[in-house]
Amino acid sequence: MGTVLLLFIINVPIYLFVQPHWVFAITLVLTAVLLVFVTYFFRNPVRVLEIDDPNFIIAPADGRVVVVEPTEENEYFHEQKLQVSIFMSPFNVHANWFPIEGTVLVSEHQKGRHMGAWLPKSSTDNERSLVVIETPNKVQIALRQIAGAMARRIVTYAKPGHQAHRNTHLGFIKLGSRVDMYLPLDTEMFVTVGEAVRGNETIIGRLADVEPKAKAAAKPKAKAKNV
């Protein structure tokens, strides 16, 4: 609505006060193209995925996989994790979804640079938001929304204490660029570098099954002696 109003404000004075009218025609075409681009870029589709395995990890964003490798995560876990990064071009949907069910433990925004999101250092140097989710099996994964060269605003809907549900939007990166995930090292991956993925549709991996803890053996109770 704000974009339409802005284009209206631009075009009406040109139509009323600028001669010749071919100037208005050119302006109208240019602003119409701009409106189509903005509408296309900020599209926010509803996607519903039905799966019965809670350990499946769903792609949180549209784009292309640019990293699948073990790395040292020093912002939250401070240990080695499996990093999976998805780069979003200006033509991808820029909405982000929760990749797994659980509870949001952390949601933090950090200011930073706006270098190209395809660069490795963008993960630690660019403006970004960190979201940490804990599954019902107490497995924690981290997700970073990373701004790129064009991006100037990251929107994160996830808040600490909120429940993370599949088919639900986690946030949006306006003119944004990349999402990093940090998973346990024993995660089984179904995608490789260079592969295209669709947010809330592509199953990119599966968390390892958590073995139930053995119950501690019950100590025999001492029987009271009759005196």
Enumerate the active-site residues: 177
User: Is the peptide bond prior to 120 cis by the omega test (within 30 degrees of 0)?
Assistant: no
Q: Given phi > 0 = left and psi -120 to 50 = alpha, else beta, which region is 128? A: beta
Strand positions, DSSP E, 74-177: 79-87, 95-97, 102-110, 128-134, 140-146, 153-156, 163-164, 169-174
- Contact assessment for residue 107 and residue 144, using Cβ atoms and an 8 Å cutoff: no
Q: Is 98 helix (H, G, I), strand (E, B) or coil?
A: coil
Vertex 51 angle, CA 43 and 76, to 5°: 70
Radius of gyration of the chain (CA): 24
- d(CA 159, CA 104) in angstroms, rounded, equals 6
| Residues 6+ positions from 163 with CB-CB distance below 8 Å | 101, 102, 103, 104
- Contact assessment for residue 209 and residue 55, using Cβ atoms and an 8 Å cutoff: yes
Would you tell me how many other CB atoms lie within 10 Å of the CB of residue 10?
15
